[in-house]
Amino acid sequence: MTSTCDVVAERVALGEPLGELSDHAARCARCRRVTELPGKLGATHHAVDPGLGFTARMTAGAQHRLVVRRRRRLAAGLAATVAAGVAGVFLMTRTPDAPRSTVAADTRPAPTPTASDADTRPAPAPADDPWNPTDPREDAELRMLVDLADVDRSLRVSARWRRIEKPVSRYRMLIKGVTP
């Protein structure tokens, strides 16, 4: 059989009201200590224990975040490198602007002939005037020459070596004395 003190302890442990056993709990010293115990436990303010494995869980979570950040940092660096490479290739391989015609009209006033010039020089024939060509082919050649004379636009920093080395390769064999 269970004693009255054991029944009081059981009801306190389960959180049930004591009811008819409250008179016994007030008189008995052992039961009084048992009934005062929940109040004393509630009055203590200890930090809550996070439980077993808390450190391991936090370490694993932190390592996972570091791995994710590292992957993102590598991906961003790779993307920036690829973008810079594409921009560099684009700048190096793009062709220069289309050639422009730089032939400008002569805005200087025509010189007035003097009496001494008219006597010594024969008047040119209209077909011999180089600035007013009648043949359209000559006009195109003149434009091409003027366009090629535009050094600022035509000058390249480097040559296309494949185009240069290809015709020279035959002479290289001749210089070395190798016959094909």
Query: In sequence order, what are the residues at sequence separation of 6 or more whose Cβ sits closer than 8 angstroms to the Cβ of residue 24?
Result: 4, 5, 8, 31
State the Cα–Cα distance between residues 12 and 3, nearest whole angstrom.
Answer: 15
State the pLDDT at residue 4: 87
Q: 100-119: string of b/e by CB count within 10 Å (b at 16+)?
A: eeeeeeeeeeeeeeeeeeee
Averaged pLDDT score across all residues of the chain: 76
What type of residue is 19? G
How do the domains of the chain map onto residue ranges? 4-43
Helix (H, G, I), strand (E, B) or coil at 109: coil
Query: In sequence order, what are the residues at sequence separation of 6 or more whose Cβ sits closer than 8 angstroms to the Cβ of residue 35?
Result: 8, 12, 18, 25
Structure tokens at 155: 């000058």
What type of residue is 73? R
* pTM score over 0.85: no
Quote the percentage of the chain above a pLDDT of 90. 17
99, pLDDT greater than 60: no
Q: What is the pLDDT of residues 128-173, one digit of tens each?
A: 555 555 655 566 777 777 777 766 655 655 666 667 666 666 676 6
Q: Phi-psi region for residue 177, left (φ > 0), alpha (ψ -120 to 50) or beta? A: left
State the pLDDT at residue 88: 93
Structure tokens at 75: 């991906």
Report whether 39 contacts 64 (CB < 8 A): no
28, pLDDT greater than 70: yes
**Residue whose structure tokens are 């064999």:** 173
In the structure, what pLDDT confidence band is assigned to residue 1 with cuts at 50, 70 and 90?
Answer: very low
State the pLDDT at residue 161: 67
Q: Please compute the mean of the pLDDT values over residues 28-54 and round it to a whole number.
A: 83
Q: Provide φ and ψ at 94, rounded to 5°.
A: -70, 150
Q: What is the pLDDT of residues 46-65, one digit of tens each?
A: 777 777 888 888 899 999 99
State the pLDDT at residue 122: 58
